[in-house]
Amino acid sequence: MGHLSRAVLIFIVLMPASLFGEPSVVADFTGRLNSGIPSGWLLEEKKGKADVRVLDEDGDKVVYMRSVKASFSLQKEMSLGLKDYPYLTWKWLALKLPERGDFRKGRTNDQALQTLIAFEDGKILSYIWDTTAPAGSSGDESVGWPVNLRIKVLVVKSGPSELGQWVTITRNVYEDYKRLFGEEPPPVKGVRVQINSQHTGTTAEGGFGRLVFKKAKD
């Protein structure tokens, strides 16, 4: 192999994968499990005891969560730009919604299903399946000093109409960020799937499929 060929090969090996125009970036629940937690994910228990399991569903790995007066999440670090991958698709399965759950009031701010996108500037987009608040509702759950997080919430599903069914959600996260924060989004730094029932003191159950950032909408 000549010097030029070696140089080309080294360039190909070291070139970031995104430069090849990969159609998607995936956060899934496959891989070696650590005490029931999928590889690459971190469990965070905010209140109560987490009940998390990884199950097989039509050949895919999905994560099942059950919350009894608890609040916990799985989170995973990622790095990508929304201009390159503006669309996010994931699957949800709501089995039990927290009774009286309504994100618009602090004492009832519980959801069976939340998908959160964290950005490098401390901002967070939270997509939720709410028990009561209508789809399309949005709100602000920002936290001040010393945490200093700006959090925008968007209800993408509401109520029990598709309880027990896998529901596919696709969002243009790039456009949602610009609309809710009024500026261009910085790079994504992580994703989180979460369940809450501590405020209502009830039980919530649900499942999450893999999260896929895409260049184009299907």
The pair phi, psi for residue 217, each rounded to 5°, is -75, 140
> Is the confidence at residue 172, as pLDDT, over 80?
yes
Q: Return the pLDDT at 9.
A: 31
Read off the amino acid at residue 60. Answer: D
User: 58: pLDDT confidence band, cut at 50, 70 and 90?
Assistant: confident
Average pLDDT rounded to a whole number, residues 84-95: 97
Catalogue all structural domains in the chain, each as residue range(s) with its CATH number.
Answer: 24-214 (2.60.120.260)
User: 21: pLDDT confidence band, cut at 50, 70 and 90?
Assistant: low
Burial of 37 (0-12, 13-18, 19+ CB in 10 A): middle
**Chain centre distance of CA 200:** 22
Give the C-alpha distances (Å, rounded to integers) separating 26 from 66, 89, 136: 24, 10, 26
User: 163: pLDDT confidence band, cut at 50, 70 and 90?
Assistant: very high
pTM: 0.88
Average pLDDT rounded to a whole number, residues 89-97: 97
Which residues, other chains included, contact 116 with Cβ-Cβ below 8 Å and sequence gap of 6+? 73, 124, 125, 126, 127, 191, 192, 193, 194
